[in-house]
């Protein structure tokens, strides 16, 4: 009897090992398939610290915090009126996603595209021109050198990629105003020209379900009250709605998004980094959003036209580090201070200049639309 029990135990053990091995094999096959069908499609461009333009005079301890405590990713949205062309063009959406590695909390910062910054080689111009001069690499360098950041990762998307991603999610639910509905319908054909789709008009406002083309057009709305400041809010609202939908999606849907979208983006994120981010997608929570600069004014400058001028850049960078990294004692590097002084001399804008209040456009976390904000304007 004892021998029979031993044989039964050995038999059960063999079956359990066989099941475990089969499961392991299936997982390995799934990863291999995901890599071959999805991640091989991505256009990668690795970036070291020199290429990223990280300021060499940032305090060592502060730099370690930026690099070890957080994952900071630059997001660029191109308005090239074409699909999958990432070599040049203005980055009309410039966003910084800052992820706390411990809490998985995310903060989103929209850098206003018309912000007057050093776009490279000492040239002062609108921030979105950096991409046109040197692609994603120069755009990342622009963010790092002006803002004392240590960004080495970026994701570039165009209209077509955003449309496909939202459609793969099954669309998103937003709260839109009548004016926003009218604007979507007015400019929807611009997006359809790029994608080749024939999208239906939006027939109601309030709480609505938008497909990829409609939601992308919503994110482009600028010619309403709030101008580009509110457009940046809409862009963050769309990203928030996409994350909410993704967190509710199963693996099959997420894999579908990968297959549909990843051959239409450009990024520095490796396969392992993308897998790492995907496995924790349910843990990510956008806890706060804002626009940058915090203190600003508008000026019509020779060579750039209507421009957003930080007042001053150094003061705004100090506030940015408080916001992103909870660093209450941050002092900007000499590099940033020099750029700040140059901007002040060139534009005449100082911290005592007449400022524009954009605070009502900043916080969009948890919001499905801009209507609540517009009531306070």
Token pair 């490796």 is found at 270
Asked if 173 contacts 209 with a C-beta cutoff of 8 angstroms, the reply is yes
Whole-structure pTM value: 0.86
Q: What is the pLDDT of residues 175-222, one digit of tens each?
A: 999 999 999 999 999 999 989 999 999 999 999 999 999 999 999 999
Whose CA is closest to 195, among 83, 85, 89? 83
> At 323, is the pLDDT very low, low, confident or very high (cuts 50, 70, 90)?
very high
List 76's β-bridge partners, or say none. Answer: 94, 156
Which parts of 38-117 fold into alpha helices (H)? 49-52, 60-68
Average pLDDT, the chain: 86
278-316 burial, b if ≥16 CB within 10 A, otherwise e? eeeeeebebebbbbbbbbbbebebeeeeebbbbbbbbbb
Residue 366 CA to residue 14 CA, distance in Å, equals 51
Q: Tell me how far apart the alpha carbons of residues 290 and 33 are, in angstroms, rounded to a whole number.
A: 39
pLDDT in tens, 223-255: 899 999 999 999 999 999 999 998 888 777 777
Model pLDDT for residues 263-312, shown as the tens digit of each residue? 778 888 876 677 677 777 778 899 999 999 999 999 999 999 999 999 99
């Amino acid at each position: 009897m004892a021998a029979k029990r031993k044989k039964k135990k050995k038999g059960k053990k063999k079956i359990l090992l066989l099941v475990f091995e089969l499961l392991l094999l299936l997982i390995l096959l799934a990863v291999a398939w995901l890599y071959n069908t999805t991640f091989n499609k991505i256009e990668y461009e690795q970036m070291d610290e020199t290429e990223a333009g990280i300021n060499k005079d940032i305090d060592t301890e502060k730099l370690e915090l930026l690099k070890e405590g957080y994952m900071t990713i630059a997001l660029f949205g191109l308005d090239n009126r074409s699909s999958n062309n990432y070599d040049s063009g203005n980055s009309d959406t410039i966003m910084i996603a800052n992820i706390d590695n411990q809490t998985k909390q995310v903060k989103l910062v929209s850098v206003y595209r018309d912000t007057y910054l050093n776009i490279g080689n000492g040239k002062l111009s609108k921030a979105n021109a950096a991409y046109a001069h040197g692609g994603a690499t120069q755009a990342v360098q622009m963010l790092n050198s002006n803002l004392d950041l240590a960004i080495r990762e970026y994701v570039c998307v165009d209209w077509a990629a955003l449309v496909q991603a939202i459609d793969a999610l099954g669309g998103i639910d937003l709260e839109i105003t009548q004016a926003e509905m009218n604007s979507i319908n007015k400019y929807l054909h611009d997006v359809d020209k790029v994608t080749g789709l024939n999208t239906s008009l939006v027939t109601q406002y309030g709480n609505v379900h938008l497909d990829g083309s409609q939601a992308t057009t919503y994110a482009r709305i600028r010619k309403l009250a709030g101008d580009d400041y509110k457009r940046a809010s809409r862009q963050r609202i769309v990203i928030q709605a996409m994350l909410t939908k993704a967190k509710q999606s199963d693996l099959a849907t997420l894999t579908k998004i990968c297959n549909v979208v990843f051959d239409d983006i450009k990024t520095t994120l490796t396969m392992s980094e993308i897998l790492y981010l995907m496995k924790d997608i349910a843990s990510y929570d956008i806890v706060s959003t804002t626009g940058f600069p915090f203190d600003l004014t508008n000026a019509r400058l020779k060579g750039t036209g209507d421009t957003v001028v930080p007042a001053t850049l150094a003061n705004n960078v100090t506030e940015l580090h408080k916001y992103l990294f909870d660093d209450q004692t941050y002092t900007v590097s000499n590099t940033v201070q020099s750029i700040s002084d140059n901007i002040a001399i060139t534009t005449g804008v100082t911290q005592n200049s007449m400022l524009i209040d954009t605070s009502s456009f900043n916080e969009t976390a948890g919001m499905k639309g801009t209507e609540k904000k517009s009531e306070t304007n």
